[in-house]
Amino acid sequence: MSDAHKIAVAIPKYGLVGGAEHFAAELTRRIALNPRYDIHVFANRWSSNSPRVTFHKVPVINFPKFLTTVSFAHFTKNKMTRMKFDLIHAHDRIFGADIYTMHGIPHRLWIHEVRKKNMSLNDHATEWAEKILIERSGCRRFISVSTLAQEKFLQAYNINAESTRVIHPGIDVETFRSLDRELCRREIRSLWGIGQADIVILFVSMNFDIKGLDPLMAAVAKTKLNCPEGKIRLLTVGKGEEKKYRRMAKSLGIDDDVIFAGVHREKLESIYMASDIFSILSKFDTFGITVLEAMAAALPVVVSGNVGAKDIVKQGINGFVIEDRTDIGAISEKIGLLLNREMRMRMGEAAYETAMNNSWEAVAKKYELIYDELLGRPS
């Protein structure tokens, strides 16, 4: 690999649980297949099946907590300085990079606007490291995972908009394509006593409140009143304040129609394949990978305007975007349209095509174009 460009990739936890960690691993593994690049990952912990990637252990000081991000940035810089790299790609806050993939939104906005909290010492330290990378390190490209995230980024930092890009996360379409839909429908539906003719609306989340289970349940109740002839089931997968939502379901008169399935990571792809409609009505979601997963299973989607994945939703083609997540009538209306099998099938096929265009291979090619642009070589 003597003629290959030497690329450094930085992320504290590579390939472990988490959206950024998964993104970095899936992307890097595919880029490493290109013999034009010699990939080196700098991480504190990693899980990898990438034989073409060289790993470098970066120490992290976890106590006191405010040193966690800063120490990773510091030790990463020290290690990289001792080695010569043609390009540095950061997936987290470090003290210098050529490309920064911003998997969330600026830290201060996340704390104030989403979490509705005051900045702690740890938050200030995290923001300080972020500012160094964005404003003082000479970083040349800033990649956001959605237009929504990009807008927040430009709101927080005075940088040239031309240096920013939006590249959505990818999806492993083959995982879904290898599944037998009818077998999944039989097995998953029998597991929770769901009829084969029932219309299943799927909700997947590890935080019921933020991801919008409240308005979805209210909309399902309204839809059932307007369409009493159809059997609608709401399948919730993940975890949240289950007792609270069971009481809510009972007060809405849909307690027999809402299924709280719990966490089922090993069955999740099959659960998507066994469902008919997917909905997530988040208060805020930088992207929302579950939307892309649902599309890979050929499900039409109903999302709020606060979900970054709305970028890939074509209104009335592969799903619906509800700009006002509190408008229960609008949500119910869109669900009602999708009770029509012909429309549901047509939109599901379009959703699948969208997922095909957002494969990890396609994402890797977009990043390779940026690598080559910054390296000053033709692609």
Q: Which residue range is the domain that position 347 belongs to?
A: 173-356
Categorize the per-residue pLDDT at 378 as very low, low, confident or very high, splitting at 50, 70 and 90.
low
**In a shared domain, residues 80 and 105:** yes
**In a shared domain, residues 209 and 106:** no
Q: Taking the CA atoms of the chain, what radius of gyration do you get in angstroms?
A: 22
Q: Which phi and psi (to 5°) does residue 112 adopt?
A: -80, -45
Amino acid at 7: I
Categorize the per-residue pLDDT at 2 as very low, low, confident or very high, splitting at 50, 70 and 90.
low
Query: Mean pLDDT in the chain?
Result: 95
DSSP E strands in 64-109: the ranges are 87-90, 99-102
Tell me the C-alpha distance between 165 and 159, whole Å.
12
Model pLDDT for residues 141-188, shown as the tens digit of each residue: 999 999 999 999 999 999 999 999 999 999 999 999 999 999 999 999
Categorize the per-residue pLDDT at 377 as very low, low, confident or very high, splitting at 50, 70 and 90.
low
**In a shared domain, residues 179 and 75:** no
Query: Is the torsion defined by CA of 75, 78, 79, 84 positive or negative?
Result: positive
**CA 30 to chain CA mean position, Å:** 18
**In a shared domain, residues 189 and 145:** no
Q: Comparing C-alpha atoms, which of 184, 212, 220, 186 is closest to residue 334?
A: 220
Tell me the C-alpha distance between 186 and 317, whole Å.
28
How many structural domains does the chain have? 2
Q: Which phi and psi (to 5°) does residue 374 adopt?
A: -75, -30
Structure tokens at 276: 């008919």
* Cβ-contact 279, 205 below 8 angstroms: no
Categorize the per-residue pLDDT at 95 as very low, low, confident or very high, splitting at 50, 70 and 90.
very high
Tell me the C-alpha distance between 27 and 170, whole Å.
8
Categorize the per-residue pLDDT at 18 as very low, low, confident or very high, splitting at 50, 70 and 90.
confident
* Preceding peptide of 300 cis, ω within 30°: no
Model pLDDT for residues 243-288, shown as the tens digit of each residue: 999 999 999 999 999 999 999 988 999 999 999 999 999 999 999 9
% of the chain residues with pLDDT over 70: 98
Mean pLDDT for 74-78 is: 97
Contacts of 129 (CB under 8 A, 6+ apart): 69, 70, 73, 93, 94, 95
Model pLDDT for residues 118-142, shown as the tens digit of each residue: 999 999 999 999 999 999 999 999 9
pLDDT of residue 218: 98
Categorize the per-residue pLDDT at 226 as very low, low, confident or very high, splitting at 50, 70 and 90.
confident
**In a shared domain, residues 119 and 187:** no
**In a shared domain, residues 255 and 366:** no
Model pLDDT for residues 290-317, shown as the tens digit of each residue: 999 999 999 999 999 999 999 999 999 9
Q: Is this structure's pTM higher than 0.85? A: yes
**In a shared domain, residues 165 and 309:** no
Cβ contacts of 336-341, under 8 Å, gap ≥ 24: 336/223, 336/226, 336/227, 338/276, 338/277, 338/300, 338/302, 339/199, 339/223, 339/227, 339/230, 339/232
pLDDT over 80 (residue 73): yes
DSSP for 236-271?
A: EEE-S-HHHHHHHHHHHT-TTTEEEEE--GGGHHHH
User: CATH number of the domain that 90 lies in?
Assistant: 3.40.50.2000
**In a shared domain, residues 230 and 326:** yes
Tell me the C-alpha distance between 368 and 378, whole Å.
11
pLDDT of residue 16: 85
Q: Which phi and psi (to 5°) does residue 303 adopt?
A: -130, 160
**In a shared domain, residues 132 and 54:** yes
**CA 83 to chain CA mean position, Å:** 33
**In a shared domain, residues 148 and 281:** no
**In a shared domain, residues 148 and 251:** no
**In a shared domain, residues 222 and 129:** no
Categorize the per-residue pLDDT at 370 as very low, low, confident or very high, splitting at 50, 70 and 90.
very high
Using the CB atoms, write b or e for 31-42: b if 16+ within 10 Å.
bbebebbbbbbb
